[in-house]
């Protein structure tokens, strides 16, 4: 089972995914958690280029090729082997980030991006995607407070608004894959909503229905 987390800046994906992983493990599944861009040695090197504040001159086409390069490596080196081993894979950002940021945000052609994505991922798509949806101003404020400001956050607010609207459009196009979570709610409520969405999905799609949380490894 391949589950991805998406969302605009400051939606809190990174801390929520850790708790979600622990929950899925408590249901008796082996979990692999990873993130984009990065997740492999080579991907982390690519990530450094992408997030450096000094790299303001990075052209959107260069940017997308770097994201896709990191993703191709992650798919082959980490995601496919984990899925083959029967693990649940939780990934912090994936192809939908490219559609939302490079497509809706920067206005690159969406159908071309979809072909490039198919190439980079060898057509591997998530089974379930959680959108941690959040008002843009609130998200950017949260990020500034955490002092994690990087080149990609420094784009203007209108860019981030297009990204958010893009995500909502992607949800509307493929509602069976997406679940929208209100990331403006308190942290605990966000985690609960994520767990419910994942548990329901597992129940509907797994041969092993869930009752109560089991010991890890059962």
Contacts to ligand TYD by CB under 6 A: 9, 14, 36-37, 51, 67, 93, 97-98, 101-102, 150, 152
Quick one: tokens of 115? 């072909």
What is the smallest separation between the CB atom of 206 and ligand TYD, expressed in angstroms?
Answer: 27
Q: How many residues does the chain have?
A: 218
What is the smallest separation between the CB atom of 10 and ligand TYD, expressed in angstroms?
Answer: 7
What are the Cα distances from residue 193, in Å, to 160, 180, 208?
Answer: 24, 9, 22
| Number of separate helices (H) and strands (E) present in the chain | 9, 5
- Give 85 or 112: the residue with its C-beta nearer to ligand TYD: 112
What is the smallest separation between the CB atom of 37 and ligand TYD, expressed in angstroms?
Answer: 5
- Give 33 or 102: the residue with its C-beta nearer to ligand TYD: 102
Cβ distance 19 to 190 under 8 Å? no
Inter-axis angle of helices 13-26 and 187-205, to 10 degrees? 50
- Give 122 or 203: the residue with its C-beta nearer to ligand TYD: 122
- Give 5 or 82: the residue with its C-beta nearer to ligand TYD: 5
What are the Cα distances from residue 105, in Å, to 163, 166, 168?
Answer: 5, 8, 13
Please give the DSSP secondary-structure letter assigned to residue 150: -
- Give 123 or 211: the residue with its C-beta nearer to ligand TYD: 123
Report the Cα 129 to chain-centroid distance in Å: 8
**Residue 107: HSE in the Cβ half-sphere, 13 Å Cα cutoff:** 2
Q: How far apart are CA 63 and CA 69, in angstroms?
A: 10
What is the smallest separation between the CB atom of 5 and ligand TYD, expressed in angstroms?
Answer: 9
Quick one: tokens of 48? 């450094």
What is the smallest separation between the CB atom of 95 and ligand TYD, expressed in angstroms?
Answer: 7
- Give 58 or 199: the residue with its C-beta nearer to ligand TYD: 58
What is the smallest separation between the CB atom of 135 and ligand TYD, expressed in angstroms?
Answer: 15
């Amino acid at each position: 089972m391949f589950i991805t987390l998406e969302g605009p800046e400051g939606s809190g994906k990174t801390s929520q995914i850790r708790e979600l992983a622990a929950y899925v493990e408590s249901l008796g599944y082996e979990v692999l958690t990873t993130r984009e861009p990065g997740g492999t040695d080579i991907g982390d090197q690519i990530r450094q280029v992408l997030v450096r504040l000094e790299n303001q001159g990075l052209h959107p086409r260069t940017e997308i090729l770097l994201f896709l390069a990191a993703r191709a490596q992650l798919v082959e080196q980490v995601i496919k082997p984990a899925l083959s081993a029967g693990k649940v894979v939780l990934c912090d950002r994936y192809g939908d980030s490219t559609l939302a940021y490079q497509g809706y945000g920067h206005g690159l052609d969406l159908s071309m991006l979809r072909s490039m994505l198919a190439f980079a991922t060898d057509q591997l798509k998530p089974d379930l995607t959680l959108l941690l949806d959040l008002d843009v101003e609130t998200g950017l404020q949260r990020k500034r407070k955490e002092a994690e400001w990087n080149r990609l956050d420094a784009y203007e607010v209108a860019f981030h608004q297009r990204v958010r609207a893009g995500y909502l459009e992607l949800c509307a196009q493929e509602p069976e894959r997406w679940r929208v979570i209100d990331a403006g709610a308190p942290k605990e409520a966000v985690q609960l909503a994520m767990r419910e969405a994942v548990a329901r999905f597992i129940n509907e799609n797994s041969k092993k229905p869930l009752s109560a949380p089991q010991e890890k490894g059962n």
